[in-house]
């Protein structure tokens, strides 16, 4: 098995072991860690189809995290994918209305972020031991709603760690907010920011890039790391579920071995669809990668024009985890389609920082041919939820509805009938008001927790423990701050 090491997309660091890349999160030059080469699946599709989720996870992760021993990696996997998930399948596939929904919301916080953030604390603490790190690790995270709670749940009371989560205080759903502000754990801090997700994300990146602050907290026995999808320890576990989904379709007789599938992903920060792109690069038979945006359609415009331009109105939508104008993980794809030219990548990212836009070359555009981009409006999202429910009885959340509507547009435009997996990224219980009013506007008169019970009635799906736990939970985190106060919030917490 090859020893896979990592380098920065901006050229400043090379030959970094996986464990060190996981610990650092972000490279010193502001770039993202990528493997020197994508490993290739070393088990046949037939072998993978006979595996459990945990076994599949090991087969994928061992290829990327080659400095972890088999014992270390299996320990991390077995402790991550256990009874925290409400199904033994971990990520079940449900065939609905001509497509396969890959349900990624059966973990502790009922969103797809659980798939990676259940294992990241184990990967990180194992990596700390491997690298003889004595500092306390401070996880610093910006969230558009789901990452924050999943990271908090993963790291709460984990020894030798602290976690600070910043969220846009008016840009998450009521249930997302309640999940975060009721979080227990002596090592946790949650702060609402007067701004949008991009403001939170830019503020966190600024703190990471502040060498003086890094030295200052280092003297006090701390070091920063990230739980955002910029961390390679977040990205690799997301590759697993695409491999698992293909194996399950093969096992169920829905595919013949080697038959290609399409994958549709509701996309904000670009990590989840990048994981599918990596799975394709590893040899998984994926044809088209369908990138679904909401009305913040910066990725749709980029895939159609080659120009990335964040200079536009930021729209608050009913799919808030996708309300993003700076898609951080896109940098990994840009690096790859630029022929791994770090200087070119740095030039484009510098332009994004300075002017809010950049344009890729025609040669780079050609490398994006496996991607298709489109978007769904707010009205289309509502229509999609209602129509699928009326036809099938299946209730999906707003993000999955965006993906579903874009999939319908793709089929209409191309006539492509390839079997398709839709990444179903959150439980409808996380966005009860948006989901229930899409089904029937009359539900808007009820409060959010009354709507939980109504959703239970129409969906016949049990109310998740994650929702029951927060119904009466006290609010423990009341801190808010301006964007320019984020660094001070961090310093105060660590003091």
Which residues belong to the active site?
Answer: 113
Residue 249's Cα: distance from chain center in Å? 23
**Token pair belonging to 78:** 């077995």
For the CA atoms of 211, 213, 214, 217, the dihedral, rounded to the nearest 10 degrees, stands at 160
Strand 33-35: give its sheet, edge to edge: 16-17, 5-8, 33-35
Could you list the beta-strand ranges (E) of 159-285.
161-168, 188-193, 222-225, 261-266
Strand 420-424: give its sheet, edge to edge: 93-96, 99-103, 420-424, 261-266, 286-293, 371-375
Nearest by Cα to 419 from 253, 299, 274, 200: 253
Q: What share of the chain is helix, strand, coil (3-state, %, to 5)?
A: 50, 15, 35
**Token pair belonging to 45:** 């599709």
For the CA atoms of 69, 71, 77, 83, the dihedral, rounded to the nearest 10 degrees, stands at -170
Q: Count Cβ atoms within 10 A of the Cβ of residue 179 and give its class: 0-12 exposed, 13-18 middle, 19 or more buried.
A: buried
Of the chain, the end-to-end C-alpha distance in Å amounts to 45
Q: How far is CA 295 from CA 1, 318, 405, 410, 434, in A?
A: 44, 10, 13, 17, 15
For residues 138 and 187, give the distance between their C-alpha atoms in angstroms, rounded to a whole number: 9
Task: State phi, psi for 147 to the nearest 5 degrees.
Answer: -55, -45
H helices within 30-81, ranges in order?
45-49, 53-64, 70-80
For residues 54 and 382, give the distance between their C-alpha atoms in angstroms, rounded to a whole number: 35
Residue 193's Cα: distance from chain center in Å? 21
């Amino acid at each position: 098995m090859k020893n896979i090491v990592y380098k920065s997309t901006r050229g400043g660091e090379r030959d970094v072991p996986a464990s060190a890349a996981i610990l650092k999160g972000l490279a010193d030059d502001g770039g993202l860690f990528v493997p020197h080469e994508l490993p290739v699946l070393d088990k046949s599709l037939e072998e993978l189809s006979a595996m459990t989720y945990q076994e599949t996870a090991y087969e994928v992760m061992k290829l990327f995290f080659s400095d972890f021993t088999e014992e270390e990696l299996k320990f991390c996997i077995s402790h991550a994918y256990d009874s925290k998930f409400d199904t033994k399948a971990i990520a079940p596939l449900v065939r609905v209305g001509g497509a396969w929904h890959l349900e990624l919301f059966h973990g502790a916080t009922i969103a797809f972020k659980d798939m990676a953030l259940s294992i990241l604390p184990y990967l990180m603490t194992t990596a700390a031991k491997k690298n003889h790190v004595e500092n306390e690790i401070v996880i610093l995270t910006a969230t558009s709603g789901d990452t924050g709670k999943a990271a908090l749940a993963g790291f709460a009371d984990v020894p030798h760690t602290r976690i600070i989560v910043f969220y846009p205080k008016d840009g998450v759903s009521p249930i997302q907010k309640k999940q975060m502000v009721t979080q227990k754990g002596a090592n946790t801090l949650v702060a609402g920011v007067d701004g949008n997700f991009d403001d939170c994300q830019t503020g966190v990146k600024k703190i990471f890039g502040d060498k003086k602050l890094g030295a200052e907290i280092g003297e006090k026995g701390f070091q920063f790391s990230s739980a955002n999808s910029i961390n390679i320890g977040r990205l690799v576990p997301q590759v697993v579920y695409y491999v698992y989904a293909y194996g399950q379709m093969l096992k169920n007789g829905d595919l013949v071995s080697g038959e290609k599938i399409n994958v549709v992903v509701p996309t904000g920060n670009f990590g989840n669809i990048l994981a599918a792109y990596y799975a394709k690069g590893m040899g998984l038979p994926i044809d088209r990668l369908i990138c679904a945006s909401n009305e913040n359609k910066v990725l749709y415009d980029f895939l159609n024009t080659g120009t990335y331009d964040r200079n536009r109105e930021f729209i608050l939508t009913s799919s808030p985890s996708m309300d993003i104008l700076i898609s951080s993980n896109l940098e990994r794809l840009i690096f790859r389609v630029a022929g791994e030219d770090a200087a070119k990548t740095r030039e484009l990212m510098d332009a994004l920082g300075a002017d809010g836009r950049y344009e890729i070359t025609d040669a780079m555009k050609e490398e994006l041919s496996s991607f298709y981009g489109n978007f769904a409006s707010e009205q289309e999202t509502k229509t999609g939820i209602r129509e699928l429910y009326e036809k099938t009885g299946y209730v999906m959340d707003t993000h999955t509805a965006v993906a579903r509507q874009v999939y319908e547009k793709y089929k209409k435009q191309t006539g492509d009938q390839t079997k398709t997996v839709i990444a179903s990224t959150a439980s409808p219980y996380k966005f009860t008001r948006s989901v229930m009013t899409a089904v029937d506007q009359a539900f808007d008169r009820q409060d959010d927790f009354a709507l939980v019970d109504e959703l239970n009635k129409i969906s016949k799906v049990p109310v998740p423990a994650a929702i029951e736990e927060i119904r009466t939970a006290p609010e423990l985190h009341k801190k808010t701050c301006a964007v320019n106060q984020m660094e001070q919030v961090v310093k105060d917490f660590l003091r």
